[in-house]
Structure 1
Amino acid sequence: MKKDIAFFDFDGTITRKDTMIEFIRFAKGNRAYMIGLAMLSPWLAGMKAGVFSNEFAKEKMLGYFFKGMKLEEFDLLCGLFSEKLLPGLIRPDAMVAIGEHLSKGTEVIVVSASAENWVKQWATRNGLKYLCTKLVCTNGILTGKIDGLNCNGAEKVNRIKQVYDPADYENIYCYGDTSGDKEMLQLANHPFYRVFTQ
């Protein structure tokens, strides 16, 4: 008998805000974050104008704020963020949907462009699996680069298919809220777009 599976985008779907922005504020403080935004404004403006890709701008942000940081320190900050701040960003109705899937034996996976370092701890505590953007670390030090591709758009489907064969599942549920979830939503026979509002 075929099983059911559910894929949830994280930022904006399960959460009310972009968790990378919130994590930077948590880790560096709001003043340092605002200074960083000013320093990064040429690349962020270029991204909005379509000159630079989201992935390029994301690496610029990660590099500015975290390049040279020890992975051990970074993961400690991610754990504190996941424990102290992230619960307040979660949409209650998204958690209800996740709980309903889990109660029926549906496998639930978070598929996110956010770094797995802060998503995995929250996901694991809630009994969920995860497929997220990975960060390059050399000799225990963050380089500010993304390992492989940003887990967004078509890459979400690529990452899913590396682990799961859609043919093995009777019902595939996908939840998303932006164009970066389009390809993942097309994978589902039960797609849900911007259904969580709390």
Structure 2
Amino acid sequence: MRSAKKVPNSTDRQAAQTKNIAFFDFDGTITNRDSFIDFIIFYHGKWVAYLGLLRLLPFLLAYKVKLIPNWRAKEKVLTYFFEGEPTATFQQGCDQYATERIPPITRVGALQALQKHHDLGNDIYLVSASPENWLSAWCQQKGIKLIASRLEVIDDKLTGKLRGNNCYGAEKVARIHQEIDLSDYEGVYAYGDSSGDREMLRLADYAYYRPFR
């Protein structure tokens, strides 16, 4: 993985007239835990969540030892917990999670970095493998644009499947290029904490791996 081109106060020294862009991973970078499992616990309660995860353990272990890909394991979990859930009910729970739960699990250093980029007038994107549903309200509140995984909906109900590719690894870079012309920017910053962020970090001029721990 590309090491960070980090020097003291490098962000502060960016010239005011230049236009920069910053990409932040969410789970483990901005937050101190994975929001996917945290959301399931918040939405269904601990007992339902833990029982379900126990039943899904063979699939989760298969993912850990790389027998099945990330997206397939995610769809197994989504299908178990949310297949047939009305989208209005689900989104209400997502917005409640964004308001009540995300603030206590965010890292202080990450919020400071977000604010610094805001103060410099940089464009800021959250790029996450988590579904956009429980990230959108928080991003709107923070003035951050969002690129994230999408959930399939049929007849106003969740199917438990992803709509399109899981926004993970190389897909993060593909989605960035679909939505943004990076040649419009003087500098590209990226913040991540896992192998799923490797390609996004390589895209950046200033790459920061696990910077807020």
Match of 2:93 in 1: 77
SS in 1 for 2:33: coil
Code of the aligned partner of 1:99: Q
Pick from 180, 193, 197 the counterpart of residue 209 of structure 2: 193
SS in 1 for 2:146: strand
- 1:118-137 equivalences under 5 Å are 118-137=134-153
1:2 and 1:168 in contact (8 A); partners too = no
1:11 and 1:17 in contact (8 A); partners too = yes
Match of 1:10 in 2: 26
- 1:23-102 equivalences under 5 Å are 23-102=39-118
Unaligned runs of 5+ in 1: none
Match of 1:149 in 2: 165
- Tell me how far apart the structure 2 counterparts of residues 7 and 48 of structure 1 sit (CA, whole Å): 26
Code of the aligned partner of 1:149: N
Code of the aligned partner of 2:52: G
SS in 1 for 2:139: helix
Match of 1:184 in 2: 200
Q: TM-score, normalised by structure 1?
A: 0.98
Deviations 1:41-92 (A, max 9, x none): 1111111111111110000000000000000000000011111111101101
1:123 and 1:129 in contact (8 A); partners too = yes
- Tell me how far apart the structure 2 counterparts of residues 38 and 13 of structure 1 sit (CA, whole Å): 26
Deviations 1:95-150 (A, max 9, x none): 00000000010000000000000011101100000000000000100000000110
1:111 and 1:132 in contact (8 A); partners too = yes
- Tell me how far apart the structure 2 counterparts of residues 126 and 44 of structure 1 sit (CA, whole Å): 33
Code of the aligned partner of 1:28: H
- Tell me how far apart the structure 1 counterparts of residues 65 and 200 of structure 2 sit (CA, whole Å): 25
Code of the aligned partner of 2:44: K
Match of 1:170 in 2: 186
Code of the aligned partner of 2:61: A
Within the alignment, does 1:159 sit opposite 2:153 as a pair?
no
Deviations 1:152-196 (A, max 9, x none): 000000000001112111110000000100000011000000000
- CA drift at 1:2: 5.3
- Tell me how far apart the structure 2 counterparts of residues 15 and 34 of structure 1 sit (CA, whole Å): 21
- Tell me how far apart the structure 2 counterparts of residues 152 and 141 of structure 1 sit (CA, whole Å): 24
Code of the aligned partner of 1:142: L
Unaligned runs of 5+ in 2: 1-16
Pick from 111, 119, 123 the counterpart of residue 103 of structure 1: 119
Match of 2:5 in 1: none
| Segments of 4+ moved more than 4 angstroms | none
Q: Report how many aligned residue pairs link the two structures.
A: 197
